[in-house]
């Protein structure tokens, strides 16, 4: 199963994955999902938002009280092999383990593959689970554009979905009793193969637009310039300093320079800030300090700057009762918070959710070096099987 998915969307050069949602690589991952479900006689449902669900129905045909598991198949640009797919592969493998033991769940078990979890194409993370749970305005989602200017609505229509049908689906959500997402650890806190999430820290994304004046790099005097690059540089350095001051993390990993000529002063720069931290106040203070650094430099260079909050998630404290039940089913494993956002975090607003983490020996993620040892991945499958077995019988 893993071997079939591994090469999909992988850059043969640096080994990074490029599986932007609804591009050929991610469509191949979706085809893989359908194939794995078919091999297991699991009917697949695609909701209006493009999320996939493969169902294992009990023999009595029960359709409610389902235990949902799974994760996502899309990646960040140059991502690792495990972030997302490990949760989907482990879900199918855990079902194989249960079936191999002759388990007959009293409740349905569904394997989910949530759309656009990384937000790498349309800019909003967990877009599929946010739409499903009503956490984003469908009209705003429809209008989101990718780097080529294609809207999310157009891309959905090109893939057989009705853009006007996207949005919350309380009927579908009501069929789930809970969600358990398995994910590779992102960071390196785990000393044991498997851990359970206690919380997801507050995190968000902000877009900074710097508008200056394009001009000739060689013939324009310094005093005549309205160059957006120095204010952009102040934003980047300001992010690092603000994070150090506030005990948060702030990252500028994506920037778009227009027109992007070596011998042309940029006319505009768009840059994105990712900020996360222990509390809303810490994150908000960090962003405010970055904005101040950007605006101060922008006024010095006669450049306009606009700031837009693209997404924000307050702290997610996972359901204690479910978390404790999962820890008990695993005979006691470490419980730890995470700085990474997940579909389970978004959906925890609508149903009890828990997360299992599989140890990542280097902690590296969102990069080709992301790794989890095979024996830890197998321990993750066994743990997920134990949790699903407990929840689907209880």
Q: Considering the complex, what minimum distance in angstroms separates the CB of residue 285 from ligand HGY?
A: 20
Task: Give 83 or 185: the residue with its C-beta nearer to Mn ion.
Answer: 83
Rounded to 10 degrees, what is the CA torsion of 331, 332, 337, 341?
A: 0
131 makes contact with ligand HGY (CB under 6 A)? no
370 makes contact with ligand HGY (CB under 6 A)? no
107 makes contact with Mn ion (CB under 5 A)? no
Residue 84 contact, options Mn ion, ligand HGY, none, Cβ 5-8 Å cut-off depending on partner type: Mn ion
Rounded to the nearest 10 degrees, what angle do helices 24-39 and 85-100 cross at?
Answer: 10
Can you tell me which of 36, 83, 116, 282 binds Mn ion, judged by CB under 5 A? 83
Residue 190 contact, options Mn ion, ligand HGY, none, Cβ 5-8 Å cut-off depending on partner type: none
Encoded one letter per residue, x for contact with ligand HGY by CB under 6 A and - for no contact, window 184-223 reads ----------------------------------------
Q: Considering the complex, what minimum distance in angstroms separates the CB of residue 339 from ligand HGY?
A: 7
74 makes contact with ligand HGY (CB under 6 A)? no
Residue 350 contact, options Mn ion, ligand HGY, none, Cβ 5-8 Å cut-off depending on partner type: none
> Which among 12-20, 58-66, 117-125, 209-217 is the span making contact with ligand HGY, rule CB under 6 A?
117-125
Residue 125 contact, options ligand HGY, Mn ion, none, Cβ 5-8 Å cut-off depending on partner type: ligand HGY
Residue 146 contact, options Mn ion, ligand HGY, none, Cβ 5-8 Å cut-off depending on partner type: none
80 makes contact with Mn ion (CB under 5 A)? no
> In the window 10-69, what residues touch ligand HGY (CB under 6 A)?
none
Q: What is the SS3 assignment for the chain?
A: CHHHHCCCCECCCCCCECCCCCCHHHHHHHHHHHHHHHHCCCCEEECCCCCEEEEECCCCCCCCCEEEEEEECCCCCCECCCCCHHHHHHHHHHHHHHHHCCCCCCCCEEEEEECCCCCCCCCCCCHHHHHHHCCCCHHHHHHCECCCCCEHHHHHHHCCCCHHHCCCCHHHHCCEEEEEEEEECCCCCCCCCEEEEEEECCEEEEEEEEECCCEECCCCCHHHCCCCHHHHHHHHHHHHHHHHHHCCEEEEEEEEEECCCCCEECCEEEEEEEEECCCHHHHHHHHHHHHHHHHHHHHHCCCEEEEEEEEEECCEECCHHHHHHHHHHCCCCCEEEECCCCHHHHHCCCCCEEEEEECCCCCCCCCCCCCCCHHHHHHHHHHHHHHHHHHHHC
120 makes contact with ligand HGY (CB under 6 A)? no
> In the window 333-362, what residues touch ligand HGY (CB under 6 A)?
340-341
342 makes contact with Mn ion (CB under 5 A)? yes
Task: Give 197 or 269: the residue with its C-beta nearer to Mn ion.
Answer: 197
125 makes contact with ligand HGY (CB under 6 A)? yes
- CA angle in degrees (0–180, nearest 5) for 112-115-121: 155
276 makes contact with Mn ion (CB under 5 A)? no
Residue 120's nearest CA partner among 278, 259, 277, 310 is 310
Task: Give 290 or 344: the residue with its C-beta nearer to ligand HGY.
Answer: 344
118 makes contact with ligand HGY (CB under 6 A)? yes
130 makes contact with Mn ion (CB under 5 A)? no
> Which among 25-33, 77-85, 134-142, 223-231 is the span making contact with Mn ion, rule CB under 5 A?
77-85
277 makes contact with ligand HGY (CB under 6 A)? no
* Residues near ligand HGY (CB under 6 A): 117-118, 125, 340-341
């Amino acid at each position: 199963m893993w071997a079939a998915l591994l090469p999909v969307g992988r850059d043969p050069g640096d080994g990074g994955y490029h599986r932007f949602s609804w591009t050929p690589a991610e469509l191949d991952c979706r085809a893989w999902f359908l194939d794995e479900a078919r091999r297991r006689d699991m009917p697949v449902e695609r909701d209006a938002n493009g999320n996939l669900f493969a169902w294992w129905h009990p023999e009595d045909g029960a359709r409610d009280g389902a235990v949902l598991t799974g994760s996502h198949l899309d990646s960040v640009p140059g991502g690792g092999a495990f972030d997302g797919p490990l949760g989907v592969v482990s879900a199918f493998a855990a079902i194989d383990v249960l079936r191999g033991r002759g388990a007959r769940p009293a409740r349905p078990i569904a394997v989910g593959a949530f759309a656009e979890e990384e937000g790498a194409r349309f800019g909003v993370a967990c877009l599929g689970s946010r739409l499903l749970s009503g956490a984003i305005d469908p009209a705003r989602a429809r209008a989101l554009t990718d780097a080529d200017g294609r809207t999310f609505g157009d891309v959905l229509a090109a893939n057989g979905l009705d853009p006007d049908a996207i949005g919350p689906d309380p009927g579908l959500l009501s069929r789930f009793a809970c969600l358990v997402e398995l994910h590779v650890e992102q960071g390196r806190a785990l000393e044991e193969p498997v851990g359970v999430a206690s919380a997801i820290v507050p995190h968000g994304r902000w877009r900074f637009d710097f508008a200056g004046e394009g001009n000739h790099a060689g013939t324009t005097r310094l005093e005549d310039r309205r160059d957006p690059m120095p204010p952009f540089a102040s934003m980047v350095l300001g992010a690092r300093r603000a994070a150090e001051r506030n005990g948060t993390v702030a990252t500028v990993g994506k920037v778009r320079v227009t027109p992007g000529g070596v011998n042309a002063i940029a006319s505009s720069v768009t840059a994105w800030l990712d900020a996360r931290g222990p509390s809303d106040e810490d994150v908000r203070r960090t962003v405010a300090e970055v904005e101040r650094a950007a605006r101060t430099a922008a006024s010095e260079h006669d450049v306009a700057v606009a700031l837009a909050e693209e997404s924000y998630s307050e702290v997610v404290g996972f359901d204690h009762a479910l978390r404790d039940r999962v820890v008990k089913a695993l005979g006691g494993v470490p419980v730890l918070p995470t700085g990474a956002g997940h579909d389970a975090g978004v959906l925890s607003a609508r149903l009890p959710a828990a997360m299992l983490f599989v140890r990542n020996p280097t902690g590296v993620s969102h990069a080709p070096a992301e790794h989890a040892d095979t024996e830890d991945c197998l321990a993750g499958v066994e743990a997920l099987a134990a949790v699903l077995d407990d929840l689907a019988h209880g």
